[in-house]
Structure formats: C-alpha cells, structure tokens
Amino acid sequence: MNVAERIAEARRTRDLAALTDAVPYAAFLGFSLTLLDGELVGKMRYADHLIGNPALPALHGGAIGALLESTAIFQILWDAETIVLPKTVNITVDYLRSGRPLDTFARGIITKHGRRVVNVRVEAWQEDRTRPIALANGHFLILPGDG
C-alpha cells in the first residue's frame, strides 16, 4: 500500500496506528495519534534521545517542532474529503516553556481550509493542557496529484 491507500484504510477502519506505523521518522520520534473526546491528538512518547539540553533537562526544540508539524499534517489528512498529501509551505513555532522529560501532546485546529492551502494552528502541552509549551502556525499545500 502507498501512503494515500493507507490513509484511506485508516480512515475507514479508524485504525490510527496504521497511519503512523509506516512513517520511519514517526517511530524515531515516538509519535502516535489518539482520539481524546473525539479530538485527534498527536503524542510524542518521552525518550532520552529527544533531549536537547541535558542540564535542565529539556526536550530539543526540533523534536517539539516535528511533533507540531506532524500533528498538523495528520489533522488535515483526518479532516479532508479527498486524499492529498499536504506539503508544508512554512511553519512558525513559538516556544513558550521548556519541554520537560515527559510525554508531550499536540492538537491541531484548521483555521482556514482553502482550495490550495490550509492554515493550521497547533498547540503542544505536557501535564497541564492550560499551560502550553509551544504553539505553531503553518501553511500546507493540498494540490491533487502531488505526492
């Protein structure tokens, strides 16, 4: 199965693991998807190799960025009516607090779904959802026939 077929299958069966299992970088990141109260939530399972600053210790900003970007892409795939692999045009990550050595969660909200481009806002948190550790805003191209 290619990526598009796997997405179609996962949406049909609601098998979220099938979506992420095929992506090597998702395994490296410990990334998985869960449904929390009907919302799609991305999770990055804590592992020592995600640390960027061992003195604190704190998660690497790049790992948090990858969690936010992945969550945004899967949110688009989950909501979309047709299967087009979103391509990141750009993403801006604001780092609000240092990421502690814990599991990290992220939730993407589609702020504008245009014909060619989707704008997504994503928030990442750890133990307390009211204290986000990072925010991202990204634009993703959704052009049929791509990818």
Partner 1 sequence: MSAGDDARAARLELLRRLNRGFAEMVPHNRALGMELVSLDDADAVMRLPYAPHLVGNPDTGVLHGGAVSSLMDACCGAAVFMALAEPVPIATLDLRIDYLKPAAPGQDVIAHACCYKVTRNVAFVRSVAFHDSEADPIASAVGAFMLATRLGHWQRGAGT
Give the footprint of partner 1 on this chain (CB under 8 A).
Answer: 2-3, 22-29, 48-56, 59-63, 65-67, 69-70, 85, 87-95, 97-98, 100, 147
Helix, strand, coil shares, percent, the chain, to 5: 30, 35, 35
Of the two residues 37 and 82, which places its CB atom closer to partner 1 in the complex? Answer: 82
Beta carbon of residue 65, minimum distance to partner 1 (angstroms, whole number): 5
Minimum distance from residue 89 beta carbon to partner 1 (Å): 6
Helix, coil or strand: residue 95:
strand
CB 46 within 8 A of CB 102: yes
Q: Closest CB to partner 1 among 19 and 38?
A: 19
Are the C-beta atoms of residues 49 and 85 closer than 8 Å to each other?
A: no
Q: Quick count: other Cβ atoms within 10 Å of Cβ 139?
A: 18
Q: Which is nearer to partner 1, 37 or 145 (CB)?
A: 145
End-to-end Cα spacing for the chain: 14
Smallest gap from residue 95 Cβ to partner 1 (A):
5
Residue 9: count other Cβ atoms within 10 Å of its Cβ. 13
The smaller minimum CB distance to partner 1, of residues 24 and 37, is found at: 24
Closest separation in Å from C-beta 38 to partner 1:
26
